[in-house]
Amino acid sequence: MARKKPPASDDRSCPPPPDGQDLWVFAYGSLIWDPGFPFEEARPATLRGYHRAFCLYSVRYRGTPERPGLVLGLDRGGACRGIAYRIAAARVGAVLAYLWEREMVNRSYHCRLLSVMLADGPVKARTFVIDRAHPSYAGKLSLERTAEIICHAHGQRGACLAYLDNTVKHLDALGLPDRYLHALLAAVRSRRDTVDRH
């Protein structure tokens, strides 16, 4: 009996094979300030149909099983401004393997090929969108609850607050400010100030 092929939507098991062409990768979180791979160019880009959100619990990199943190994902609805990196064709296989090891440890994302808008028109880019069926998906948390979690969480790669702060600073420096992340950062700092005073 022939082995059943995984459904087309099961894009989490391994990186997509290179097609011999340059590849664009859309970054919306830590890949903006710490890509970790070589690229030919980096350009501001807008992805429509998804928004940046702290919607994924982290029990390793930015939290612990006892006190989970939160990391960013792309969730459905709205739009997101970020950076599109162009990867040379000869490096696509190695870069995708690196991204898989970094982003897909828990298979909590889908790696999708989506249209993003650059200043001179659209391109197709690989990006990681949240899997809403994954047990680590946090759903739509209130700003207050998100701030509470970020305020106290710390994991192998450091504090959740540092992750938020780095993202805000780099988006600002690129001329791509995110109002929600600014409000969230202010809420986290207010909480920390209150804790410090007591």
Residues annotated as catalytic are 103
The pair of structure tokens assigned to 22 is 């340059």
Q: How far apart are the first and last CA of the chain?
A: 68
Whether the CB-CB separation of 94 and 39 falls below 8 Å is answered with: no
Which conformational region is residue 79 in: left (phi greater than 0), alpha (psi within -120 to 50 degrees), or beta? beta
Phi, psi (deg, nearest 5) at residue 55: -125, 10
Q: What whole-number distance in Å separates Cα of residue 57 and Cα of residue 125?
A: 25
Q: What whole-number distance in Å separates Cα of residue 30 and Cα of residue 45?
A: 16
Whether the CB-CB separation of 86 and 23 falls below 8 Å is answered with: yes
Question: Which residues share a beta bridge with 109?
Answer: 130
Q: What whole-number distance in Å separates Cα of residue 34 and Cα of residue 167?
A: 10
